[in-house]
Amino acid sequence: MKTTRIIFITLIISAVMISCGGQKKEKPAVSENPFFTEWTTPFGAPPFGLIKIEHFKPAIQEGIKRHQEEIKAIADNPEPPTFANTLEALDRSGLFLDRVEKVMENLLSANTSDELQAVAQELAPALSAHYDEIYLNPRLFARIKAVYEQREALSLTPEQKQLLEKFYKDFVRAGANLDDASKARLKEINQELAVLELKFADNVLKETNAFELVIDNAADLEGLPQNVVAAAAEAARERGKEGKWVFTLHKPSLIPFLQYSPRRELREKIFKAYINRGNNGNAYDNKALVARTIALRIEKAGLLGYKTWADYVLEESMAKTPGNVYRFLDQVWQPALKRAREEAAELQKLIRAEGGNFKLEPWDWWYYAEKLRKQKYALDEEMLRPYFKLENVIDGVFLLANKLYGLKFVERKDVPVYHPDVRVFEVKEADGRHVGILYTDYFPRASKGAGAWMNALRDTYKIGGQKITPLILNCGNFTKSTPEQPSLLSWEEVTTLFHEFGHGLHGLLSDCAYLRLTGTNVVRDFVELPSQIMENWVAEPEFLKLFARNYQTGEPIPDELVAKIRQAQYFNQGFITVEYMSACYLDMDWHTLTEPVKAEEVMEFEREALARIGLIPEIVVRYRSPYFSHIFAGGYSAGYYSYIWAEVLDADAFQAFKETSLFDRATAESFRKNVLERGGTEDPMVLYTRFRGREPKIEALLKKRGLD
């Protein structure tokens, strides 16, 4: 997820590195650079086939120049400051630069290379300095402040009032009120942080790609499903290891191995490789980057008048303060930890029943949990996969959007893409009106970041009475097809696809006038509501049977299998909740520090933080510090809690549908009008309450996870 372009820009959500090779090319002439020409592609989509790596640097440099000129015109305007000539003009500035940055950002996360990463690292300080120059421009801020101080006397719409409020706070929080010496230091900090985030993501994903568990003895494949074995054979072929099998640290490879391999020593090897990324004392070690990032954030928070980085971040959130976050986490942590201890005891009992004389370790949990699920519910992941062919799941999420909002999705082959895996769909209203474009990119590759995300190649906004329609991207790293069978998704992959599609709808259906407020440009702990609510439909039998069909026979998922899914919905929820929430505590502990730590103290700090909350040794925190990209390279610092905060919202909001009907159009229309379309135009609690008729209650979350 990206925040608005005018706030301090983080170039990377995540990035992967591959060797690009080849000779360095000469700087292209402006006439050869597609960023300097009008795009005549359908819907003004980026002409990816024409865009080369060497185009970015001159385009970014030109974009900075043009943006500087636009800012100067606003700041030096001899006319008295007004909403139109200051705030609206500011929101409309930098469109050329924004276009270039969005293409580069998306390629960095989805189809990167060493050469592109080098360009990004070279440009990061200049971009950081450019946005600092805007925020710290005293003449520009004086005009914003003048309008802000007379806001009560102005006839502004609610959206205009919010834009004024947001921009004023943006500038204050970015240091507009600092003295010159503090402003100079702040610029240095921001530039260094921009580079540190790039390096952190680079290191994590280089190390992820570097590991291979190579198996050359077929006996070591015992217990693994055939599709997992086939995928490992395909991975080996791609790496020139024909006749062998390769397992990697990418989730579609890692998780099935941990679930099904009885080879305990191999499970331990791949698991430890995963949890020690960035912590191996090699060129990709991130401990020094973590320590330096935390030190700079502490210093920046202090410069801006905040006790901690968390105080700074959370001021602009629904939670407001670190204390509120900790109190919220504690409400869920205690029942979750109690359940996790019970689950660990149950797994240990299973180990003993099978004759094992060892203690349950983290690399055992997935394996024995899968065994226990099958024992208790006659259900395992591989029973579900045949009903979740990727194309059927995509049809399912499109069907849900149609039932709720009347949307239609038409595949387009004439829109340029950056990789053959990418598909493009035109999104239309029920009456045929164009809404926007959705790109989908669902398979892992060496040039692509791990995980799943939504991004925008163009945000929607209104100018001169015309609506500029959005270009939205959904990315994932799901199980890929093999020569033997199509892409068959796990249950987790299915829910992830629905989750990111929810973010996509937030970007597609936004109906805001201003870029600062449009789409997903909302506070961090509200942004996950539109995505997470979509996951709720997946487990509903009434909906599941509409799209879950056996890829070989076409038969819908049988009632008895649906019943098993429902019966097992609370299974392993202690583990799932504790693994995630321990990362929330770790994030908050890092960002409530008031003194820096040394690189050699990073892992000890993590150990003490997790010991304080009583994390049991059988569970490893979901993200250890050296690969916690969400908070050190992805914009979620002091905000990783927002997923479960938003789950309170989504669980409560979904009850509105359960109280009426699963596809109730009136309820869906209210959610669209009050949440999806409104972006950041009003306080999120106001928007939620307008939809639900009241504030959310935590009881729905505890019930959803079986922790009540």
By annotation, the residues acting in catalysis are 500
Place of tokens 């060497």: 54
Residue 553, SS3 per DSSP: coil
Which amino acid, one-letter code, is at 71? I
Three-state DSSP state, 221: helix
Token code pair at residue 297: 């954030």
- Structure-token pair, residue 479: 């199980």
By C-alpha distance, which of 291, 124, 104 is closest to 192?
A: 124
| Contact of 328 with 645, CB cutoff 8 Å | yes
Q: Within 10 Å of residue 153's Cβ, how many Cβ atoms?
A: 7
Q: 475 and 110 in contact (C-beta within 8 Å)?
A: yes
Q: Are 453 and 475 in contact (CB under 8 A)?
A: yes
Which residues, 6 or more positions from 546, have their beta carbon under 8 angstroms from its beta carbon? 396, 399
Task: Tally Cβ neighbours within 10 Å of residue 541.
Answer: 15
Instruction: Kindly give the residue spans of alpha helices, DSSP state H, lying in 387-528.
Output: 390-405, 491-508
In a 10 Å sphere around its CB, with 0-12 CB exposed, 13-18 middle and 19+ buried, how is residue 4 labelled? buried
Write the DSSP assignment of 96-163 as a string of letters. Answer: HHHHHHHHHHHHHHHS--HHHHHHHHHHHHHHHHHHHHHHT-HHHHHHHHHHHHTGGGS---HHHHHH
Are 310 and 636 contacting, i.e. CB atoms less than 8 angstroms apart?
no
Three-class secondary structure of residue 289 per DSSP = helix
Q: For residue 241, with 0-12 CB atoms within 10 Å meaning exposed, 13-18 middle and 19 or more buried, which class applies?
A: middle
Smallest CA-to-CA distance from 368 within 247, 272, 260, 492 is with 260
599: its two tokens: 């690189």
Length of the chain (residues): 708
CA distance 348 to 370: 13
Q: Which residues pair with 471 in a beta bridge?
A: 437, 458
Task: Give the whole-angstrom CA distance, residue 653 versus residue 690.
Answer: 11
For the residues of 618-642, what is the DSSP string, one character each? Answer: TS--SS-GGG-HHHHTSS-TTTTTH
Token representation of residue 15? 């990035």
Backbone φ and ψ of 243, nearest 5°: 90, 0
DSSP state of 29: P
CA distances in angstroms from 305 to 148, 179, 182, 312, 423, listed in the order given: 21, 12, 11, 8, 47
Alpha carbon distance 10, 440 (integer Å)? 23
- Phi then psi for residue 47, to 5 deg, are -85, 75
3-class DSSP assignment, residue 538: helix
Rg (CA), the chain: 25
Q: Which structure tokens are listed for 589?
A: 């502990």
